[in-house]
A and B are shown apart, each in its own frame.
Chain A
Amino acid sequence: MDETLLAVDDLAVEFSGRSGRTRAVDGLSLTIARAETLAVVGESGCGKSVTALSVLRLLQEPAGRIVGGTVRFHGRDLASLDESEMRQIRGRSISMIFQEPMTSLNPVLTIGEQIGETIRIEGDHTAEVVRQRALAMLDMVQIPDSARRLKQYPHELSGGMRQRVMIAMALVNRPDLLIADEPTTALDVTIQAQVLDLMRGLSGQLGMATLLITHDFGVVAEMASRVIVMYAGRKVEEGPVRSLLSSPRHPYTIGLLGSVPKWQQSAGGERRRRLVEIPGAVPALRGPAQACSFAPRCPIASDRCHAEVPPPTAVAPGHVAACWHWPSSTNLRSGWHP
């Protein structure tokens, strides 16, 4: 069954502020089928979170706005719904979990209340029914001692436990689609693996589709069936995970994959896996792209790359790359990092 659940088409998002307008997402298209897991990868600042927030219409309006494109969910364009119609979708059909487990839960409300209110948005239930469902959900995300946890506040839980609570909250109404924005980035490695295992198990069990945002190809390989690589608000490559990881075609993807995973000691003492980034930084677009945004950092850029936007081109079955010179990109694989 390959029925399309979510179809984002030609999405464009802009932020306007004192320093003028920035285009955070530029002509992005993606689809997710029922029960499929699609990964979106890219360096930080390339528009992954903005894409995710746009689907649920959670941008900080009026500063951030969807300026073009459609977001079809079950065939219905979410970009044209009003706030109260969106509210019917959020938390019921589409849920979201965020990167920051330490700050994403309300510090002054108990875990029980925060899960309970999510259960109640979907229908009137007695306090006992709500409690039982909350308990069952905590068990499902493998939080031990669930009855006691319900009465606790977020500051009494570890980061990993809080992210489990976020997952419990997101899944309690059995959504069709879960958007997970770097759900494990802030966690230490062993906890990361546990949370990913849990997510994979639950999405299978509930038959739920997942839009998984990450900048870790290890996570992509483990979790997703298809992957999209984003750069400066645009999709630069898309394909089945195996094909894309084994033969990446876009110089940016090659750079990301070729970069060596490094064990970093972060301030909190937890170890994290990070990509050594490609030299240079993600540029901010002022309006629709007029050239290949990656050209300033690309070792094989030509004049054409600076003058015209490369269109998506099929490079293998189901695998597209937006690069003028993709056939010669394979030479890059050795010697990206001098």
Chain B
Amino acid sequence: MSYVLRRLLATLPVMATVALIVFSLLHLSPGDPAHVLAGETATPDEVASIRAALGLERPFFERFADWSYSVITGNLGQSIFFGRPVADLILQRAVPSIALSLLALLIAVAIALPLGMFAAWRAGRVIDKMAMSFAVLGFSLPTFVLGYLLILFFSVHLRWLPVQGYVAPEDGAVSFLRHLILPALALGLVYAALIARVTRAAMLEVLGQDYMRTARAKGLGLWRMVVRHALKNAAVPIVTVIGIGFGMLISGVVVTETVFNVPGVGRLTVDAILRRDYPVIQGVVLVFSATYVLINLLVDLSYALFDPRVRR
């Protein structure tokens, strides 16, 4: 069986487990799910109708199977607060969140790769220690603190960028970017710190390998040695941490969207939690998990791209 197919199949049990957990969160939580869904102020009639709608008298796994089927067909249920399909709500807010994550990822990689590579190349020297202190600092600052610091400096003090808010791309590309750059930076820096440290460690290991000595003995230029010979060998741990760190990015999106008032899926999540809008919470958790699994699937598949020994 090919590597790709094997990896694809391996995600199925993972997604099934995630779905089961998400479903159980509501249905196994103490108390009557119908009460929970209806909220504290609901009348007994409302609770009864919700209970009927959920089919709570049926066995757990039967309900789970039904729910899973509707999820697969794209039906994530109805929001209690908005009275609209959860899938629609998430889709509506997907663009700002995706844009924010991609920009943050781009910033993180653009900072972390050169920084980690440079630190490894100059390992043990002052410049390496400075770069790594910066990485530790970036990693230990909570996203919201970093976010407020960036707002204070770039928006309040220098007045270069808007303080908060969001402009859709169709309402002006420049404005869209100007609003996204600070949240993406706040989000990306933490991520960059993580990637930079792994990049440095991976490169350091690779630079000591025999084949790097061969590359130098052949008279190759620095660029070719570092990028073609070393980075390609260090790529597997680096993309791995990018994938694992994606979980951090998702929780960062929730915080950042709140700090910068970006109407994305992260804000939807916070609002849903505050309103106890359980179907929405379920829906976002499911979507976030699926995204995480998908990203890590892509990471796994990328191994074959970097390392011929994986392709079998």
Report which A residues bind B (CB closer than 8 A). 56, 58, 87-92, 95-96, 98, 100, 103-109, 117-118, 121, 153, 155, 166, 169
Contact check, B309 vs A91: say whether CB atoms are below 8 A apart.
no
> 13 A-B Cβ contacts within 8 A?
A58-B217, A87-B219, A90-B216, A98-B210, A98-B214, A103-B211, A105-B214, A107-B307, A107-B309, A108-B232, A117-B218, A117-B224, A169-B214
B216 CB contact (under 8 Å) in A58, A103, A117? A58
Most-contacted residue by chain B among A88, A100, A104, A166 (CB, 10 A):
A104
Least distance between A86 CB and chain B CB atoms (Å):
8
Contact, CB under 8 Å: B215 / A106:
yes
With A107-B309, A108-B308, A153-B309 in contact, do A100 and B210 touch (Cβ < 8 Å)?
A: yes
Further contacts, 8 of them, CB under 8 A, given A104-B213, A153-B309:
A87-B220, A106-B229, A106-B233, A107-B308, A107-B309, A108-B306, A118-B219, A166-B214
Chain A contact residues: helix, strand, loop or mixed = loop
Which residues does chain A contribute within 8 Å of B224, judged by CB atoms?
117
Contact with A along B215-235 (1 / 0, CB 8 A): 111111100100011001100
For B229, list chain A residues within 8 Å (CB): 106, 109
Q: Taking CB as reference atom, which chain B residue is nearest A172?
A: B218
> Chain B's nearest CB lies how many Å from the CB of A22?
19
A62 to B152, CA, bound (A): 44
Within the complex, the shortest CB–CB distance from B26 to chain A, in Å, comes to 47
Report yes or no: B217 in contact with A95, Cβ–Cβ below 8 A: yes
Asked if B41 is at the interface of the complex by the 8 Å CB criterion, the answer is no
Closest to B235 in A: A108
Bound complex: CA A155 to CA B217 (Å):
21
Given the complex, which residues of A lie within 8 Å of B218, measured CB to CB? 90-91, 95, 117-118, 121, 169
B271-312 to A contact mask, C-beta < 8 Å, 1/0: 000000000000000000000000000000000001111000
Smallest Cβ distance from B181 to chain A, in angstroms? Answer: 35
Residues of B within 8 A of A58 (CB): 213, 216-217
Nearest-CB residue, chain A, relative to B207: A60
For B192-215 the 0/1 string (1 means CB < 8 A from A) is 000000000000000001110111
A residues near B232, Cβ cutoff 8 Å:
108-109
Q: Which of B217, B221, B233, B308 contacts A96 (CB 8 A)?
A: B217
Asked if A106 and B211 sit within 8 Å, CB to CB, the answer is yes
CA of A82 to CA of B229, assembled, Å:
22
* Chain A residues within 8 Å of B220, by CB: 87, 91, 117, 121
Tell whether, in the assembled complex, residue B214 and residue A107 are in contact, meaning their CB atoms are under 8 Å apart: no
Report the bound CA distance from A100 to B209 in whole Å. 11
Instruction: Give the shortest distance, in Å, between A26 (CB) and chain B (any CB).
Output: 23
Chain B residues within 8 Å of A, Cβ to Cβ: 209-211, 213-221, 224, 228-229, 232-233, 306-309
Kindly list chain A residues whose C-beta atoms are within 8 Å of the C-beta of B233. 106-108
Q: How far is the CA of A103 from the CA of B218 in the complex (A)?
A: 15
Distance A103 CA – B233 CA, assembled complex (angstroms):
13
Most buried by A among B211, B213, B215, B217: B217
Kindly list chain B residues whose C-beta atoms are within 8 Å of the C-beta of A98: 210, 213-214, 217
Q: Say yes or no: A153-B214 contact (C-beta < 8 A), given A117-B224, A121-B220.
A: no
Inter-chain CA distance A103–B209, complex, in Å, is 8
**A263 → B minimal CB distance (Å):** 27
- Whether the Cβ atoms of B211 and A88 lie closer than 8 Å is no
Q: With both chains docked as a complex, state the minimum distance between the C-beta of B240 and any C-beta of chain A, in angstroms.
A: 15
Tell me the bound Cα distance from A45 to B93 in angstroms. 66
B309 touches A155 (CB 8 A): yes
User: How far, in Å, is B126 (CB) from chain A's closest CB?
Assistant: 13
A105-B217 contact, Cβ under 8 Å, with A117-B224, A153-B308, A155-B309: no
A34 to chain B, nearest CB (A): 21
**Bound CA–CA A166/B232 (angstroms):** 20
Chain A residues near B219 (CB-CB < 8 A): 87-92, 118, 121
For residue B147, give the distance in angstroms from its CB to the closest CB of chain A: 39
Q: Which residue of B lies closest to A106 (CB)?
A: B211
- A56 vs B213: C-alpha distance in the bound complex, in angstroms? 11
CB pair B217–A56 under 8 Å, yes or no, is yes
A95 to B218, CA, bound (A): 7
Chain A residue at smallest Cβ distance from B214: A104
**A90 contact set on B, CB distance < 8 A:** 216-219
* Cα–Cα distance between A90 and B228 once the two chains are bound (Å): 18
Min distance, Cβ B120 to any Cβ of chain A, angstroms: 14
Q: How distant is A179 from chain B, measured CB to nearest CB, in Å?
A: 9
Instruction: Give the nearest-CB partner of B307 in chain A.
Output: A108
One of A92, A95, A96, A105 near B211 (C-beta < 8 A): A105
5 A-B pairs closest in CB distance: A91-B219, A90-B219, A103-B210, A91-B218, A106-B211
Distance from A73 Cβ to chain B, minimum over Cβ atoms (Å)? 14
Chain A contacts for B221, CB-based, 8 A: 87, 121
Among residues of A, the one whose C-beta sits closest to the C-beta of B217 is A96
Determine the distance from Cα of A176 to Cα of B249 in the docked complex, in whole angstroms.
55
Give the complex CA separation of A107 and B224 in angstroms: 15
B128–chain A nearest beta-carbon distance, Å: 13
Q: How far is the CA of A96 from the CA of B233 in the complex (A)?
A: 22
A109 and B210 contact, CB distance less than 8 A: no
B53 to chain A, nearest CB (A): 56
Looking across the interface, which residue of chain B has its beta carbon closest to that of A156?
A: B308
